[in-house]
Amino acid sequence: MSNTYGNTYRLATHIEMYILTSEYGVTIYNALAELGLERIAKVEIFDKNCEGPQALDKIANKWVMLIIYALTQGKKRYSELQRQIKGVSPKMLIQNLRTLERCGLVTRTVYPVVPPQVEYSLTNLGESLVEPLAILCEWAYLHMHEVKAACERYNNCDDSKK
């Protein structure tokens, strides 16, 4: 209990610091969170015709998050992204870059030089995704030890109890 309480306190402290540095961002986040909770309460998000889950399908994976974060630092060439994002295969990197470009989150600029030079950067829509992803990643950071401990408990549990 104290561990969870400690994380709640740290999260509250983080939010208080965040309010001091970016009052508008927190206000927008709270409004978006309330809208999302209302939509879930109305069960619209579970409707197969709801476009929300379709949009989430495009952005809800670890590689997309890491690509978005890397591009917050400015324009990047493919090779720079590949070096920076440890563990991503060339196939996964290019697939995710293409998906992000198709969804309007990333711009791909090709320069007419030999050999061709390609740079990727965030669009305005992509930049609007940075703050919500940062909040999600902060939650993951604050709770990573609890999640790891829960996974270890589950993995060490007798199979008959799973």
Kindly list the distances between the CA atom of residue 51 and the CA atoms of 46, 126, 132, 144, 159, in Å, as whole numbers in the listed order: 10, 18, 18, 30, 38
pTM: 0.68
From the options 3.20.20.10, 3.40.50.620, 1.10.10.10, 3.30.710.10, give the CATH code of 51-154.
1.10.10.10
pLDDT at 135: 84
Which residue in the block uniquely carries the two structure tokens 């495009």? Answer: 58
Residue 100 main-chain phi, psi, to 5 deg: -65, -40
Best CA proximity match to 70, nearest among 119, 115, 26: 119
pLDDT at 16: 36
Domain boundaries, given as residue ranges, for the chain = 1-47, 51-154
Using left for φ > 0, alpha for ψ between -120 and 50, and beta otherwise, residue 76 falls in beta
pLDDT at 19: 37
pLDDT at 162: 59
Kindly list the distances between the CA atom of residue 120 and the CA atoms of 7, 73, 93, 101, 113, in Å, as whole numbers in the listed order: 36, 11, 12, 9, 16
pLDDT at 157: 86
Per-residue pLDDT tens, the chain, 162 aa: give them.
Answer: 333 333 333 333 344 333 334 444 444 556 667 777 776 677 666 777 777 777 877 888 889 999 999 999 999 999 999 999 999 999 999 999 999 999 999 999 999 999 889 999 999 999 999 988 888 888 888 899 999 999 999 999 876 665
Beta carbons of 100 and 126 less than 8 angstroms apart: yes
Kindly list the distances between the CA atom of residue 64 and the CA atoms of 18, 79, 93, in Å, as whole numbers in the listed order: 24, 16, 9
Dihedral angle sign, alpha carbons of residues 25, 132, 83, 74: negative
The DSSP result for 81-103, as a single string, is HHHHSTT--HHHHHHHHHHHHHT
pLDDT at 90: 96
